[in-house]
Amino acid sequence: MATNYNGLFKTLENKDITLSKLSEDLNISSATRAKFKKGEYVSLQTLESICKYLNVKLNDIVSFVFVDSPSLLLMRLKEEMEHKIKGSIYHETQILMTYNSNHIEGSELTADQTRYIFETNTIGLDRDKTINVDDIIETQNHFRCIDYMIKTALEPITEILIKDLHKILKTGTSDSKLEWFNVGEYKKRPNTVGGIETSKPADVKSDMSTILGLYENKRSYSFDDIIEFHYKFECIHPFQDGNGRIGRLITFKECLRHGFVPFTIDEDIKLFYYRGLKEWKNENGFLINTCLTGQDKYKRLLDIYEIDYR
């Protein structure tokens, strides 16, 4: 991946700010200034601080040129999403990923109801059964999250992207009406996962910057690297709620970004998945193998659509 900072220089020119002035105000080193001119990688933390300083978005100041072509799967998903192709791999991916990710978090919607919502934008209800409105809203929001992950698949992971994802997922829910819930921002109150303590609210920003920096500075990526990032993200649990779904959406994006087959966690392997997260420090292979099992499930879908992943 090559980096282009023409947007930064154009923005500085339009705002009549010199690179020296920007560097002085933000305490940017001369070595980093040189990277801008050479088109070399600059940490996402630095880029995001520049965005705040200039009041612009990341893609206004930097663009990423990808040397490798995107995978056939990603190209198909993008094309079919754009044209809303029914019965496509995009169509089935939306239903499979959304149903499974919401279901293991407690949603009572069935697979058929999830499909019905996606296909008709309505919900069919049995007379004797009530449905939690939040389940419906979060299902619709999850569809939008997957679209967002497909659109941004080749971009680096940033705090802005992750916060945007949380805002999409939780907007309109009963949680979003609580001021302290802080939709689209990091948690204000401590939380736990499986009874295990996670990062304190005051530490979340620092902990997130650390794992993002370590991950985005890798020269190459393996499937194991993606799963390790997922584990670290869940240990931080940066949001008040929705962390499991956000974490799995990020792994979906990263599999597309780096050419790996995505995976889905369904009811059959849910307990193995949670055990794998809990036991990562003692036996990380347990979580990796569980995700590989979930990957095999998605491969069967690829086989139906004759999409080569080998």
Q: What CATH number is associated with residue 59?
A: 1.10.260.40
Residues 226 and 266 in one domain: yes
The pLDDT tens digits for 183-235 are 999 999 999 998 889 999 999 999 999 999 999 988 889 999 999 999 999 99
**151 & 49 share domain:** no
How far is the first Cα of the chain from the last one, in angstroms, to the nearest whole number?
23
Q: Which of 65, 85, 117 is the last residue of a domain?
A: 65
* Residue 63: φ, ψ to 5°: -130, 150
Q: Among 42, 65, 88, give the residue marking a domain's end.
A: 65
Q: How many domains does the chain have?
A: 2
**Tally of CA atoms within 13 A in the half-sphere of 198 that contains its CB:** 28
| Phi and psi based region of residue 190 (left: phi greater than 0; alpha: psi -120 to 50; beta: remaining) | beta
Q: Give dist(CA 136, CA 113) in Å, integer.
A: 9
Do 136 and 34 have their domain in common? no
Cα 217 versus chain centre, distance: 18
- pLDDT reported for residue 128: 61
- Do 35 and 176 fall within a single domain? no
0.85 exceeded by the pTM?
no
Is 258 within 8 Å of 226 (Cβ atoms)? yes
Residues 159 and 88 in one domain: yes
Q: For residues 48 and 111, state if they share a domain.
A: no
pLDDT of amino acid 63: 76
pLDDT given at position 176: 95
Phi/psi of residue 27, nearest 5 degrees: 60, 45
pLDDT at 64: 60
Same domain (yes/no): 48, 180? no
Q: Is residue 309 part of a domain?
A: no
Average pLDDT per block of 10 residues along the chain, 310 residues long: 82 94 93 86 82 90 62 92 94 97 95 94 72 94 98 93 97 96 97 93 97 92 96 98 98 95 96 95 93 95 87
In a domain, 310, yes or no: no
Supply the pLDDT for residue 125: 63
**Residue 70's pLDDT is what?**
59
d(CA 134, CA 88): 27
Residue 236 placed within a domain: yes
For residue 275, the domain's CATH number is 1.10.3290.10
Positive or negative: CA dihedral 68, 307, 291, 265: positive
Pairing of the two strands 63-65 and 2-4: antiparallel
Q: Which of 28, 46, 65 is a domain's end point?
A: 65
pLDDT for res 75: 92
Q: Which domain holds residue 58?
A: 2-65
